[in-house]
C-alpha cells in the first residue's frame, strides 16, 4: 500500500511540474545551451573593452547570449569593476525616444540612490534642461523628459554620458543596445548615427554590445562601407545551435523531469525546426505537455499539429501582405527550384522577367521571410517554411526530411 502511495505522489509531482522549456523570453542557467565559443568571444571583448556587433536571424537567442555571457562574467571574482547596462530600443521611434531611454537606463545602472541620480543629471546634462518625474517608489522609479532645445548640438552630451559616469565611478561600463536597427526609422537618421559614432569611438572606459532582430537592417547599418557604424567593432554572426547540442538538451530536459524521449525522435524534431532555438523550445514544450512518460511518433505528430495551429495566425498575417508574384516565388523555393531566372522557372511559376526576381527577393528579405545564406536562399524562420509547405502541399512533413 505504501509503495502505491509513493507511485501516486510521484505521478502527481510529475503532472504539477513546470515545463523545462522556455521561449519568447531571454533565458539563462539551465535553459541556456551551447554557445561556448560565442561566450568566450564576448568575454574577451568585455575584458578588452572591445565593441561587439551581433548579427543573426530573428529569435536565434542574441539577447539570451549577451545576458548569459554577462551573468557568467559578473560571477567571476577576479573580474574588473564592471557594470552592464541593458537598453531595449524597441519603443524608440525618434531621437528623443532614444535620449530618454538611453539616459534613464544609464543613470539607473550606475547608481541606486535618488540623490545621485539627480546630481548626475544636473552635472552631466545641464544643457539639456532635463525634467525628472518620480514614480510611486522614488527610490527606484523615475522617468526623464527634455525641454525643447534650440541647438541639437547640446544632445552630444547624451552620447558622452556613459563615459563620464564610468570615469566618475572608476568602472568599466558595457552598454548593451538591443533593437539597434530602429535608428533607421529616425528623422535624419544618418546624421544621428554619425554623431553617435563620433562620440562612442573615443570612449575608453565604455564599450558597446549592439544587436537587433531585423537582420537585413542590421546588415545595412554595419556592413555597408558608406554607413557611419561600418567596422564599429567585432562582428559576430550568430548561427543556429548545432543539432547535436540541441538534441542532448531536449533529451536531458525530458529525463530531468521524469519523462523519456528517444534520440531518434528528438533528432526528427530538431531537424524539422532546422535547429532554430526558439522553435525547438516551442515544439519541445508542446510535446512535453502532451507526454505522460514516453514520447512516440503519434505524440510527435500531434505536437506538430498544435505547433502549426499556434503559429497559423502569424502565418496568415504574412500571407495577407504578399503579392501574387511573391507567393509564386515562395512556391518555387518550396518546390526546390534553384535557378529562378531560367526561362522554364519564370514561365512555370509566372514570375515575369528575370529583373523581377531581384525585386521579389529584396521585398521578401525586408519582410523577414527569406535570407541569403551560404547554402543559398533560405527561410528566416522554420515555422514559415513549414506552414508554406502545408499551404502549397499537404505531404507528410517528417517524410520530407
pLDDT of residue 120: 79
**pTM for this model (two decimals):** 0.84
Regarding predicted confidence, which is higher, 385 or 17? 385
In the predicted structure, residue 31 carries a pLDDT above the cut 50: yes
How far apart, in whole angstroms, are the C-alpha atoms of residue 80 and residue 67?
Answer: 18
pLDDT of residue 287: 97
* Domains of the chain as residue ranges with CATH: 1-26+241-321 (1.10.8.60), 35-237 (3.40.50.300), 322-401 (1.10.10.10)
Q: Which of 243, 237, 275 is nearest to 373 (CA)?
A: 237
Joined grid coordinates for residue 87 = 537598453
In the predicted structure, residue 78 carries a pLDDT above the cut 80: no
pLDDT of residue 8: 44
- Phi and psi at residue 370, to the nearest 5°: -125, 165
Q: Are 380 and 58 in contact (CB under 8 A)?
A: yes
pLDDT of residue 139: 55
Average pLDDT over residues 86-113: 89
Confidence of residue 154 (pLDDT cuts 50, 70, 90): low
Sheet containing 52-55: give its strands across: 82-88, 172-178, 206-211, 52-55, 234-237
**What's the whole-number average pLDDT of the chain?**
86
Q: What is the pLDDT of residues 8-29, one digit of tens each?
A: 444 444 445 789 998 877 777 6
How far apart, in whole angstroms, are the C-alpha atoms of residue 366 and residue 185?
Answer: 14
Confidence of residue 329 (pLDDT cuts 50, 70, 90): very high
- Half-sphere exposure of residue 241, counting CA atoms within 13 Å on the CB side? 27
Q: What is the pLDDT of residues 181-228, one digit of tens each?
A: 999 999 999 999 999 999 999 999 999 999 998 988 999 999 999 999
Amino acid at each position: 500500500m505504501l509503495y502505491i502511495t509513493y507511485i501516486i505522489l510521484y505521478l502527481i509531482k510529475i503532472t504539477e511540474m513546470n515545463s523545462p522549456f522556455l521561449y519568447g523570453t531571454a533565458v539563462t542557467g539551465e535553459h541556456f545551451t551551447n554557445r561556448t565559443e560565442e561566450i568566450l568571444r564576448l568575454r574577451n571583448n568585455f575584458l578588452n573593452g572591445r565593441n561587439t556587433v551581433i548579427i543573426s536571424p530573428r529569435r536565434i537567442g542574441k539577447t539570451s547570449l549577451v545576458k548569459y555571457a554577462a551573468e557568467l562574467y559578473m560571477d567571476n571574482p577576479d573580474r574588473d569593476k564592471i557594470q552592464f547596462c541593458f537598453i531595449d530600443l524597441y519603443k524608440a521611434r525618434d531621437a528623443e525616444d532614444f535620449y530618454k531611454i538611453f539616459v534613464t537606463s544609464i543613470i539607473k545602472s550606475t547608481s541606486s540612490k535618488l540623490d545621485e541620480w539627480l546630481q548626475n543629471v544636473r552635472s552631466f546634462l545641464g544643457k539639456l534642461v532635463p525634467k525628472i518625474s518620480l514614480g510611486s517608489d522614488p527610490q527606484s522609479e523615475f522617468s526623464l523628459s527634455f525641454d525643447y532645445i534650440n541647438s541639437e548640438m547640446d544632445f552630444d552630451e547624451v552620447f558622452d554620458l556613459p563615459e563620464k559616469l564610468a570615469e566618475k565611478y572608476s568602472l568599466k561600463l558595457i552598454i548593451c543596445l538591443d533593437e539597434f536597427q530602429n535608428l533607421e526609422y529616425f528623422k535624419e537618421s544618418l546624421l544621428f548615427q554619425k554623431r553617435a559614432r563620433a562620440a562612442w569611438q573615443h570612449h575608453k572606459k565604455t564599450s558597446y554590445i549592439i544587436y537587433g532582430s531585423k537582420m537585413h537592417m542590421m546588415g545595412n547599418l554595419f556592413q555597408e562601407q558608406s554607413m557611419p557604424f561600418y567596422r564599429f567593432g567585432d562582428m559576430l554572426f550568430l548561427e543556429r545551435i548545432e543539432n547535436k547540442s540541441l538534441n542532448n538538451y531536449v533529451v536531458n530536459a525530458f529525463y530531468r523531469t521524469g519523462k523519456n524521449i528517444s534520440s531518434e525522435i528528438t533528432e526528427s524534431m530538431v531537424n524539422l525546426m532546422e535547429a532554430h532555438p526558439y522553435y525547438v523550445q516551442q515544439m519541445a514544450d508542446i510535446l512535453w505537455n502532451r507526454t505522460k512518460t514516453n514520447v512516440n511518433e503519434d505524440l510527435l505528430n500531434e505536437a506538430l499539429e498544435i505547433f502549426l495551429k499556434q503559429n497559423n495566425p502569424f502565418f496568415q498575417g504574412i500571407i495577407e501582405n504578399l503579392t501574387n508574384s511573391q507567393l509564386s516565388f515562395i512556391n518555387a523555393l518550396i518546390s526546390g527550384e534553384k535557378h529562378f531566372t531560367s526561362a522554364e522557372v519564370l514561365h512555370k511559376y509566372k514570375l515575369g522577367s528575370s529583373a523581377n526576381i531581384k525585386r521579389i527577393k529584396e521585398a521578401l528579405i525586408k519582410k523577414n521571410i527569406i535570407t541569403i545564406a551560404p547554402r543559398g536562399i533560405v527561410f528566416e524562420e522554420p515555422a514559415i517554411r513549414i506552414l508554406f509547405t502545408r499551404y502549397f502541399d499537404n505531404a507528410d512533413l517528417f517524410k520530407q526530411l
